[in-house]
Structure 1
Amino acid sequence: MDKIKELASRKAAVIITKSSCFMCYSIKTLFYEMGASPEIYELDKEEGGREIERALRMLGCTSVPAVFIGGKFIGSAKDVISHHVDTSLKQMLIDAKAIWF
């Protein structure tokens, strides 16, 4: 869990992904289109990726992408899309200073 907290706090927006995951690609693209520049960790390319994946499961995240904004776990793709649809994602990114408006 300490590793997850460390990764999540490195930047205002952090996305933990796998390189072959289409939904991960979609969420990264959404963040880029909103003007955010998230820190990206690809579990299949990172040293210690399996340990990070186990820690995510302990957090309750059973799939990637795992999205953190302002150091707080937001959820997976479904959760991020829900926040985007209800317009709260933009405000979360603004509050965390991941984007400016």
Structure 2
Amino acid sequence: MSIGHGQSGAASERVSELVSGNAVVVFTVRGCCICHAVKQLLFGLGVGPAIVELANDTSDKDINAAIFRTIRGGTDNCNRFPVVFVGGKFLGGIEAVLAHHIRGALVPLLKDAGALWL
């Protein structure tokens, strides 16, 4: 999925639209093995997340900045990818996703968000 380039205000608006309009959104960086692992975990659970893959260079800097502006107040660990939102709320990165999964809290969270129906 592409969210386009442009002014930072437009990028922030698009990030907000994606987060609020999808049960699960995963922002990734092209070629990141950790991002791949999160996507595979979600796919394995039967989730079809909205995935936004950013280039691993400066071409997506407005979008990257908009993502981290969106989550700034939520965590002190908000400068790495992947960035996962569930039900319109920032869940976290790989550590948070795996912690929820290990505790058995990820599937109920995904069900509550409407990402799983079973």
TM beyond 0.5: yes
**Maintained 8 Å contact 1:42/1:49:** no
SS at match of 2:85: strand
Whole-Å separation in 1 of the counterparts to 2:68 and 2:20: 18
Letter of the structure 2 residue corresponding to residue 12 of structure 1: A
Q: Provide TM-score, normalisation by structure 1.
A: 0.89
Provide structure 1 residue ranges, at least 5 long, that are not aligned to the other structure: none
Residue number among 109, 112, 115 corresponding to 1:92 in the alignment:
109
What are the residue-to-residue correspondences of 1:14-93 with 2, within 5 Å? 14-44=25-55, 49-58=60-69, 59-60=71-72, 61-93=78-110
Superposition misfits of 4+ residues, deviation over 6 angstroms: none
Aligned pairs, how many?
A: 99
Q: TM-score, normalised by structure 2?
A: 0.77
Identity of aligned residues (%): 35
- 1:7-35 CA deviation, whole Å, 9 max, x = no partner? 21231111000121001000000000000
Paired residue secondary structure (1:81): helix
1:49 positional shift: 2.8
- 1:56, distance to aligned residue in structure 2 (A): 2.6
Q: What residue ranges of structure 2 are gaps of 5+ in the alignment?
A: 1-11, 73-77
RMSD: 1.6
Amino acid at match of 2:105: S
